[in-house]
Chain A
Amino acid sequence: MNRHAKRRTAAGLGLRLGAAGVVAGLVLAAVLAVPAAEKAEKKVAHIPGSRFTYIHRLPLAGPEGNPITLKDDPVLPFSYRHSCTKCHDYDVVRTGWHFNAPDADVPPGRPGQPWFWADQTTGTAIPLSYRAWPNCWRPDEVGMSTWTFVLNFGRHLPGGGPGEKTDVKDKAARWLVSGKLEINCGSCHSGDPAYDQVENFLQVARQNLMWAATASTSLATVTGAAAGMPPFYDPIMGPEDEKAAEKAPAVHYDASRFGDKGAVFLDLPSEPPDRRCYFCHSTAQVGDGSPEVWQTDEDVHMLSGLTCTDCHRHGLDHNVIRGYEGEPLAEGKPHLATLTCRGCHLGDESAEAGPHTMGSRLGAPVPAHVGLPTIHLEKLACTTCHAGLVPGERTKRVQTSMAHALEFQGPHRGRHALPYIVEPVFVHRDYDGTIGPVRMVWPAFWARIVPGEGEGAGDTLKPMGPSEVFAMAEDAFKANYEAEAPTKAEAAPKPAETEAAPAPAAGEAAEGADDPADAAPAAPEAAKPAEAEEPADAAKAAEPEKPAVAEDELEGLTAPKPNLPPAKVKAVLAALAAKEKGTAFGYVCAGRLHRLDESGNLAAAEHPRAEPVSWPIGHNVRPAEYALGATACTECHGFSAPMAVGEVEVASPAHLGDPATEPMYAFQGRDPMQLKAWAMSYLFRPMFKVVGFATAAVIAAFLLAYLVRGMVGVARWAARKAPSGPTV
């Protein structure tokens, strides 16, 4: 029996223990294990070699590898894992970037965008990542199990990773009822216009993890909700009676899509369409004066006809090339190393020979960079001048798909939705030693403070989830602090009871689905965060400022502005301390840790875990004419150059007397005096050039004059030395 068969046996055993007893389970598992083991041996070596896209007309396999037929009872959802693994080794696929985050053996790599555990009421925005990125917390460090993680962020997960980490101890987990959230190949690869990733989220919201991939295709619809089923429900066996069948998840395949031999066509091109990437990787500017998405342009590469996967390629291992210089995956491989800005446009000098040294890969224009001293190409990332929002005096706020669920509508949306992401911030990036643009978030969370042991040891923070802190200090959160903002205490939205984020909260939607039969049509409503029962009142109460016109129209329907005046923060900290005597509590925001001093006042101090989290900006790339410095050197070297002296907003849900901005140069390790001196030199630069060229002209004139004089001298000398001709 191979490894997979053993796993299936174990899984089957577990499922059957509750329903049919130990003995029956063992027998059944053994019976199921044998055909599964035989199937595993019938793999076909998948040897690539053609650009032809295979037509994926294939028999579907269920969660345990058994073939799907319409006559099954119950009819099970298909599994990409078991349907595709005949040609595509699932165990190789799952090593890809989109799935391997929880694997502790995988190096963290270049920092990327973390997930954010965010909540408006408690002013929480905790950066989470399974990867050891700077200033991020591992979900388990903040008490978030893989189950809770999947329910919170399953909206933008392509499956796999934490969705298959079912061995983590968590009493609230219901993996046996929900099944695993296996890799959903369609999330990225589906070429079917009717493929619906939103439906994928709705299924996650109902805890229909095993059904999510099937429901998001146009092949089937799924009704019912695993969330409404008892903890001993076995989805493989199906409901025991008709009453249970009304609530239980059920798949309804489109019979017309099944061929004579039970095969169905799945439109799965090897290169994912851009619209699939955009679902998780979109960014929108928010705030006063921000243009709407339709007013803005796409990345210049997309407008030129390229696709995401032209640069961000991968093989079966799904280790997508991220496209930054020095990427370990591309080391020593010119075909990959030149899939960077510089590699494509300028070529890779390290390539020994051939076209990769020349640039212009994929037809990329070789940039002229006229008048740009080469030091810029060494000290700056290409994206510094070419990507992200054009910098102004102050950073702008943006929202992203992963952080703000831009693909979904609901009360989680709006310009006040946490986390507050600002861009562009030009920082010195440790991983490549250049100055480059990043998006930045200042973490905000309540935490227990564990005093450091030993002299000089700093305090350790233990972040608290929003529902935990709300439960411990509910009265303080509901109290009215008129001095700061008129608040209706009753209207203060409750955080999710299962610690779900205010973005489409799968956990709450699922648990609220009492009637699974009604769950499907009610899903969009159910997807609303549970805490936003009175969003209109909440928003009115917590919004002291007059929002933009567009926001006015949506007032009450969008995320309320966090309302955390100093008095409330003090009250919450006092309430927490009263609930848990002997423990110190603090609130991290604006880059500092705030705690109550002996006299009961707020005291702020710097703390390493309060430092902002940031990740590099790769897109959108602007046309060359829109690059920084395209019009004048002083765009970056002037006295008020945003890149050097721009203000980085210290965006925080609470304003506790912390600095509202930080200067940009502080993130670059640059000396402001030096920047001023450098800017001043540009005042004299025109004169400098005039004097320089005049001097060069004088030197050249003298050299030329003496060269002529020397040549004449040499000619005379040669004439003297030349033998004289015969005299006549």
Chain B
Amino acid sequence: MSLFQICSMVGIGGAVGVCLIHYVLVARRMPHPGHGQRRLLRYNLWERFLHVVLLATFLVLAVTSFWASIGWGGPMAGYTLMIHTTCGAVFAVAVAAMLVTWAADHAFADHDCQWLKACGCCSTRGDLPAGRFNASDKVYFWLAAPLVLVLLLTMLLSMVPVLGTAGQYLMYDLHRWSALVLVIATIWHAYQTTLAKPGGLTAITRGRVSSGWARRFHPLWGARAEAETADAGDSPAEETSAD
């Protein structure tokens, strides 16, 4: 068994394990955010579409690659490779779109330092300062973007007559190790935005959150969004159990 196989199993298994522990020790103890008075638009249609594309392609990429890596320790071949490369191209374009769409919202601000200092991930308080995206989201965003760039370039450079065998091996290693880091980070990110943040999944699928959810997890953005909604003359929404 290769080092990468071991690291993959330990890394992915460890990430899932940490999420479970976090859920038991932290997320379950977190008080429910409440429903609030209004329904706030968190993601528009384009953003939701983008999220779905990213999620779907990422899942296909992760499954095809790590099925091969962990399964038989070798590179992909045949249909698996064809599916992987095709989805890889879509994923890369989606990531570029993601950057265009969300880069501004993921710019670090002063309050992110407070969130990080208070270890927002482990806090059950839930009212730490956060804009549209909290510091954890931002760290993931700015980690994922360069990793995807590495993944993309390592693949592209291996397809053009530039690198020899040593370079090809370097590209291959960089590609798979970057992918492993991205997968681990994404597992954590997916958990943080869904199970650890009740109502987060609905936000992604339906695009709207309750004002209570916004005040709890993204108070700065929530206040701003509520004000904007009020300015627009929207009446308070009916409360739904989903949020």
Given A677-B79, A695-B96, verify A368-B164 contact (CB < 8 Å).
yes
Report Cα–Cα, A373/B155, bound state, in Å: 10
Binds B, one of A70-78, A306-314, A457-465, A683-691: A683-691
CB-contact partner of A692 in B89, B146, B169, under 8 A = B89
Q: Are B145 and A699 in contact (CB under 8 A)?
A: yes
**SS class, residues of chain A in contact with chain B:** helix
Residue contact A373 to B158, C-beta cutoff 8 Å: yes
Given contacts A678-B82, A691-B89, A696-B152, contact A370 B163 (CB under 8 A): yes
List B contacts of A691 (CB < 8 A). 89, 93
The reply to whether B165 and A695 contact each other, CB–CB distance below 8 Å, is no
Known: A677-B79, A699-B148, A706-B107. A372 touches B92 (CB 8 A): no
From residue 377 to 415 of chain A, which have CB atoms closer than 8 A to chain B?
377-379
- Pick the most buried of B100, B162, B168: most chain A CB atoms within 10 A of its CB: B168
Q: How far is the CA of A221 from the CA of B110 in the complex (A)?
A: 103
B99 at the A/B interface (Cβ < 8 Å)?
yes
Q: What is the CB-to-nearest-CB distance from A676 to chain B, in angstroms, rounded to a whole number?
A: 11
How distant is the Cα of A77 from the Cα of B100 in the complex, in angstroms?
Answer: 91
Query: A692–B92 contact, CB under 8 A?
Result: yes
Given known pairs A691-B93, A699-B145, the reply for A370 and B161 (CB within 8 Å) is yes
In the complex, what distance in Å separates the CA atom of A706 from the CA atom of B172?
28
CA distance A685 to B82 in the complex (A): 12
Taking a contact as CB atoms closer than 8 A, the residue among A369, A378, A671, A696 that contacts B74 in the complex is A378
Residue B115 CB within 8 A of the other chain: no
A375 engages B75 (CB within 8 Å): yes
Instruction: For the complex, count residues of B whose C-beta is within 8 A of A.
Output: 39
Residue-wise, chain B 75-116 has the 8 Å CB interface mask toward A (1 for contact) of 101110010011001001101100110010001101000000
Cα-based distance from A717 to B96 in the complex (angstroms): 29
Please tell me if the beta carbons of A689 and B79 are within 8 angstroms of each other in the complex: no
Per-residue interface assignment for chain A, residues 667 to 679, with 1 indicating a CB less than 8 Å from any chain B CB and 0 otherwise: 0000100100110
Is B159 in contact with chain A by the CB < 8 A criterion? yes
Binary contact track A356-381/B, C-beta < 8 Å → 1, others 0 = 00000000000111111111011100
Q: Is the CB of A706 within 8 A of B165?
A: no
Is B1 part of the binding interface, using a Cβ–Cβ cutoff of 8 Å? no
Q: Is B3 among interface residues, defined by CB-CB distance under 8 A?
A: no
Q: Which residues on B sit within 8 Å (CB–CB) of A56?
A: none
A346 touches B (CB below 8 Å): yes
CB distance from B47 to the nearest CB of A (A): 17
- Residue B149 interfacial (CB < 8 Å): yes
The answer to whether B79 and A674 touch across the interface, beta carbons within 8 angstroms, is yes
- The answer, among A346, A378, A698, A717, for a CB contact under 8 Å with B99, is A698
Q: Which of B75, B108, B145, B156 contacts A374 (CB 8 A)?
A: B75
Q: Give the residues in chain B near A378, CB-CB below 8 Å.
A: 74-75
Residue numbers in B under 8 Å from A232 (CB-CB): none
> Which residues of B lie under 8 Å from residue A372 when comparing CB positions?
165, 168
Contacts A374-B172, A378-B74, A696-B156; A710 near B108 (Cβ below 8 A): yes
Q: In the assembled complex, which residues on chain A have CB atoms less than 8 Å from the CB atom of B86?
A: 681
Q: Does residue A703 face the partner (Cβ distance < 8 Å to B)?
A: yes
Partner of B100, one of A369, A671, A702: A702
Q: Does B7 contact A (CB under 8 A)?
A: no
Query: Would you call A695 and B93 a contact (CB within 8 A)?
Result: yes
Q: What's the Cα separation between A169 and B161 when bound, in Å? A: 64
Any chain B CB within 8 A of the CB of A431? no
Contact in complex: B152, A379 (CB < 8 Å): no
**Residue among A369, A375, A703 making CB contact with B145, cutoff 8 Å:** A703
> Complex Cα distance A671/B82, Å?
14
Closest to B76 in A: A375
7 contacts between A and B (CB under 8 A): A371-B159, A691-B93, A693-B156, A695-B92, A695-B152, A696-B92, A696-B156
Interface on B for A, CB 8 Å cutoff? 74-75, 77-79, 82, 85-86, 89, 92-93, 95-96, 99-100, 103, 107-108, 110, 142, 145-146, 148-149, 152-153, 155-156, 158-165, 168-169, 172
Q: A: which residues have CB within 8 A of B?
A: 346, 367-375, 377-379, 671, 674, 677-678, 681, 685, 688-689, 691-693, 695-696, 698-700, 702-703, 706, 709-710, 713, 717
Apart from the given pairs A346-B165, A677-B82, A678-B78, 7 other A-B contacts in the complex at a CB distance below 8 Å: A367-B164, A371-B163, A674-B79, A677-B79, A702-B96, A710-B107, A717-B110
